[in-house]
Chains A and B, each alone.
Chain A
Amino acid sequence: MAKVNTSPNIKGADDFYAELLALHEGRTKEESDAINARLILLLANHIGDRKILSDAMKKAAAAGA
């Protein structure tokens, strides 16, 4: 069963995180929500594998609960 990779996988984690925040800087909540939704859809399509996507959704829902 394919699982989403939960080991560190992004080189330059701080840079990535800063870029993610910069993406939202100066935006309204509405604009940010729209960007986030588009980003999720783009990344989901890139991954493609339905099992990995399901696993990622499960982990995303569980992490904050």
Chain B
Amino acid sequence: MNQQAKIFETPLYSYERHPDQDEVTPVRRPVVIIGAGPIGLGAAIDLVMQDVPVVILDDNDKVSFGSRAICFAKRPLEILDRLGCGDPMVEKGVTWNLGKVFFDDREIYNFNLLPEDGHKRPAFINLQQYYFEEYLVDRVRALEAEGKPIEIRGKNKVAAIGQHDDHVTLEIDTPEGPYNLEADWLIACDGAGSPTRRMMGLDFIGRVFEDNFLIADTIMEADFPTERWFWFDPPFNKGQSALLHKQPDNVWRIDFQIGWDIDRDEELKEENIKRRLRQMLGEDAKFELEWTSIYTFQCRRMEKFRHGRVLFAGDSAHQVSPFGARGANSGLQDTDNLCWKLKLVLDGKAPDSLLDSYDDERVYGADENILNSSRSTDFITPKSEISRIFRDAVLDLAERHDFARPLVNSGRLSVPCVYDESALNGPDAVGLPIQTRPGAPAVDAPTKDGWLLDRLGFGFQLLAIGVDVPELLEVDGIEITRLALAPDESSQFRARYLGEAKQAVYLIRPDQHVAARWTDYDAAAVFAALNTSTARA
């Protein structure tokens, strides 16, 4: 266990003086990112892999303290694969698919999250945020070693932000005094309490939930299976809920709902937390506490994620309850959406209005997350007598009758966002499978040369399934490369991309989302769809 303590206690990006600090005229950087958390690091890796120089500023010099976000979903893992760091996460992480729901002292129902086969990545892994960040920092170091222009400046705290038409100015405090820096574009990934948002005087509006949750990350040798267990009204926490979830290194996330009217300091005393744990685990249970915290939560978002040259991503832009694992998971989908657009704008290949589609698509994603998260919270914590009566009726019925199980809501776990209404979407073809419609992320499937998603990303691609298309197309400076596939790559591939059709052509965006699709190749239609999906139409 000491080894873990070291990870979040050891500076991973210590302060070092940078030549920029000695320049009389502030140096201009193409992209500056504030915050070296999961989202800031993800954005930086994505951009530098496209040869965009990036500077990450962080007011600290260590990875996240405590486990914090622990549950990473399939879509973010696919994004991490594209960024070259999915493997260490999945190898270290605890893979789980099964969830159990308890009511009072009975198991009333269980579920399997990914009954569908033919995907490289599991529905979820559990991994402490400090490992997650550590592996991202490792990836940054590897890219640095390859000579890629990426740097993390620790103990660089942004004190002031100035917005201009074509750049942003930053005043940065360091242990050796302040310096100024300029950026063509600024990405703020500085968390729910975002100092950037505050300095810019921007609103963060939403709903506060009057409840407290106690997290006890507990180290124990226990034979609970690798499943997510959720209790409504258990004997050891009457009238409230509880969650048990396994992390690597025999760390268990135990989460107790404890109500609104509490004495925080009292609840956080070690002896009181241990008393709660003994009520749950038994008087003889042997355990140590790794990290404890009490949180309250809110569901809220900024009105706009783009403010001129400043782009907000992750918790700085939107915040949800933890039920459903929609925090870090949606943040990675933000940067997945943003980085290719920013690259095209920086290269002068797309107008900067393309970045407004980041706002449109990810605000849509955030609203979906907030809706789901609010509904879960209303189920878990009924707000009135009648809502509790219905909640308990659902749970009682679910034990015996299948129909009630879809109504049980202990967190609708994060699924990828489909940008159904996006202005970037091109035409759809009648008869092709609904799950791969324009706006959806390409669904993984086995192909004869490996997993489909390992063969997609970073550029526009034309997925040619049983249709002849040119190997390379160029549309006003933007290339489209061909990925030629046979209809019978695998049964899953056929079901996910063809259905009953004999052939198809898919235009895939650099973030692996489907831009448009047809049942035959028409050059003019492909060019038009490319222009639509880059805001050039």
Contacts and interface: CB of A to CB of B under 8 A. Distances in A.
Dominant SS at the B interface? helix
Contacts of B393: 34, 37-38, 40-41
A41 B389 contact: no
B495 interface: no
Interface string A23-65: 0000000000110011011100100000000000000000000
A41 B405 CA distance: 12
B396 A38 contact: yes
Nearest to A48: B403
B65 interface: no
Contacts of B389: 33-34, 37
A42 B397 contact: yes
A34 B392 CA distance: 8
Nearest to B396: A38
B404 A41 contact: yes
Contact of A45 (B392, B396, B403): B403
A6 to B, nearest CB: 24
B260 interface: no
A41 B392 contact: no
A40 B403 CA distance: 13
Dominant SS at the A interface? helix
Nearest to A42: B397
B394 interface: yes
A37 B392 CA distance: 9
B199 interface: no
A40 B397 CA distance: 11
Contacts of A41: 390, 393-394, 397, 404, 407
Interface in B143-176: none
Contacts of B394: 41
Interface in B402-432: 403-404, 407
A33 B392 CA distance: 11
A36 to B, nearest CB: 8
Contacts of A38: 393, 396-397
A26 B397 CA distance: 22
Contacts of A42: 397, 401, 403
Nearest to A39: B393
A61 to B, nearest CB: 13
A15 B390 CA distance: 27
Contacts of B392: 34, 37
A41 B404 CA distance: 8
Nearest to B401: A42
A45 B394 CA distance: 12
Contacts of B401: 42
Contacts of A33: 389
B505 to A, nearest CB: 36
Interface string B373-410: 00000000000000001101110110001011001000
Contacts of A45: 403-404
A40 B393 CA distance: 10
A41 B394 CA distance: 8
Interface of B: 389-390, 392-394, 396-397, 401, 403-404, 407
Interface of A: 33-34, 37-38, 40-42, 45
Given A41-B404, A42-B403, A45-B403, 14 more contacts: A33-B389, A34-B392, A34-B393, A34-B396, A37-B389, A37-B390, A37-B392, A37-B393, A38-B397, A40-B390, A41-B393, A41-B397, A41-B407, A42-B397
11 contacts: A34-B389, A34-B392, A37-B389, A37-B392, A38-B393, A38-B396, A40-B390, A41-B390, A41-B397, A41-B404, A45-B403
